[in-house]
Amino acid sequence: MIISDAKGSCGCTVPDWPREPIAPGKTGEIKVEFDSKNKGTEEGSNQSKRVTITANTDPVQTYLTIKGIVKKDKAGK
């Protein structure tokens, strides 16, 4: 498998993927960093971000969804 691109749904979601081919029977890891700055509430708000993976697969694009709850502390940070 060759991953040619990975894109987050917004600038706050940044994927990092293996640039080298992944051989049959082997594994690879995609890391996704989410910047929660200016997101969330004191009670917590649901966040859902999508990462589009483009590879030599059928279909060519696969979608990963990252979900979580973001809470701000009482100081608003």
Q: Which helix (H) or strand (E) holds 18?
A: none
pLDDT in tens, 54-66: 999 999 999 999 9
User: What average pLDDT does this structure show over 62-72?
Assistant: 95
* Torsion sign (Cα): 47, 9, 13, 18: positive
Euclidean distance between CA atoms 61 and 63, whole angstroms: 7
52 vs 72: CA distance, rounded Å: 28
Identify the pLDDT of residue 73: 78
Report pTM: 0.84
Tens digits of per-residue pLDDT, 14-65?
A: 999 999 999 999 999 999 999 999 899 999 999 999 999 999 999 999 999 9
